[in-house]
């Protein structure tokens, strides 16, 4: 990997496809070749290709060694943002921009930020503030192939899983990952236990899962 690719911030998100739980964006600053070698030695890769248990272990190792930032949007706040913005990509852009800004402000030596491509490229660029706009912003498909983005993916997923577990305890019933039939069944249990309004505290209510629940109730 060339020198020009070092000194960069990688960002990635977790939870955007999960009905229950928050949306989490993480950023990791890879300062130099030593940081890259550290991540490669850990075999850090896209968190979707790693077990939940291993993700937790890797995230702890990465967080101890590398500068990082987490931006977590809990379900209640997420639903408010979606209602006002009406677009998931705008929420993602805001969260990625804040994660980038947090690291860029603390580490002025960073010269570029790399993130996965989603929606219009201008979303993230517009959401960045003064310091972030000084960076070269690179958005590309399969950005997790970059070890900085993969590291961010791991930290974001670990934080998502931690918060989902905490929400499950609060709900008094397990809240599964994803948006499957088991998730719908869990949503029904939650509504029966705590009422329909409680979904906004635990789930992203714009998902089709919610409309299916309402249709079946009718």
* Paired tokens of 109: 């030596």
- Judge whether residue 147 has pLDDT over 70: yes
More confident residue, 58 or 117: 58
Q: What is the pLDDT of residue 86?
A: 86
pTM: 0.92
- Judge whether residue 58 has pLDDT over 80: yes
Mean pLDDT of 151-166: 98
Reading phi first (left if > 0) and then psi (alpha if -120 to 50, else beta), residue 178 is in left
pLDDT tens figures, 129-145: 878 888 999 998 888 89
Q: What is the pLDDT of residue 216?
A: 54
- Judge whether residue 126 has pLDDT over 70: yes
Q: What is the mean pLDDT of the chain?
A: 91
Number of residues that make up the chain: 218
Contact of 96 with 143, CB cutoff 8 Å: no
Residue that has been written with the tokens 């719908």 in this structure: 184
Q: What is the pLDDT of residue 2?
A: 40
Q: What is the pLDDT of residue 182?
A: 94
More confident residue, 174 or 6: 174
Architecture of the domain made up of 3-166: 2-Layer Sandwich (3.30)
CA gap 171, 174 in Å, rounded: 8
> Given pLDDT bands bounded at 50, 70 and 90, which one contains residue 3?
very low
More confident residue, 109 or 22: 22
pLDDT tens figures, 81-119: 999 988 899 999 999 999 999 999 999 899 999 998 887
- Judge whether residue 177 has pLDDT over 90: yes
Question: What 3-state class would DSSP assign to 13?
Answer: strand
Contact of 6 with 33, CB cutoff 8 Å: yes
Percent of the chain with pLDDT over 70: 95
Q: What is the domain partition of the chain in residue ranges?
A: 3-166, 168-213
Q: What is the pLDDT of residue 218?
A: 44
Contact of 15 with 26, CB cutoff 8 Å: no
Q: What is the pLDDT of residue 133?
A: 84
Reading phi first (left if > 0) and then psi (alpha if -120 to 50, else beta), residue 155 is in alpha
């Amino acid at each position: 990997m060339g020198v020009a690719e070092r000194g960069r911030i990688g960002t990635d998100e977790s939870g955007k496809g999960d009905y229950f739980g928050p949306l989490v964006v993480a950023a990791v600053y890879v300062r130099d070749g030593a940081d890259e070698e550290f991540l490669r030695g850990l075999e850090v890769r896209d968190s979707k290709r790693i077990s939940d248990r291993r993700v937790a272990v890797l995230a702890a190792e990465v967080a101890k060694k590398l500068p990082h930032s987490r931006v977590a949007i809990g379900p209640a706040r997420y639903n408010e943002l979606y209602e006002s913005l009406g677009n998931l990509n705008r929420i993602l852009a805001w969260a990625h921009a804040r994660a980038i800004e947090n690291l860029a402000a603390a580490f002025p030596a960073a010269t570029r930020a790399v993130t996965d491509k989603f929606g219009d490229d201008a979303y993230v660029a517009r959401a960045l503030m003064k310091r972030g706009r000084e960076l070269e912003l690179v958005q590309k498909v399969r950005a997790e192939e970059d070890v900085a983005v993969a590291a961010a993916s791991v930290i974001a997923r670990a934080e998502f899983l931690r918060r989902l577990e905490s929400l499950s305890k609060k709900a008094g019933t397990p809240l599964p990952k994803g948006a499957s039939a088991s998730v719908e069944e869990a949503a029904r249990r939650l509504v029966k236990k705590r009422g329909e309004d409680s979904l906004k505290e635990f789930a992203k209510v714009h998902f089709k899962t919610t409309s299916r629940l309402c249709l079946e109730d009718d």
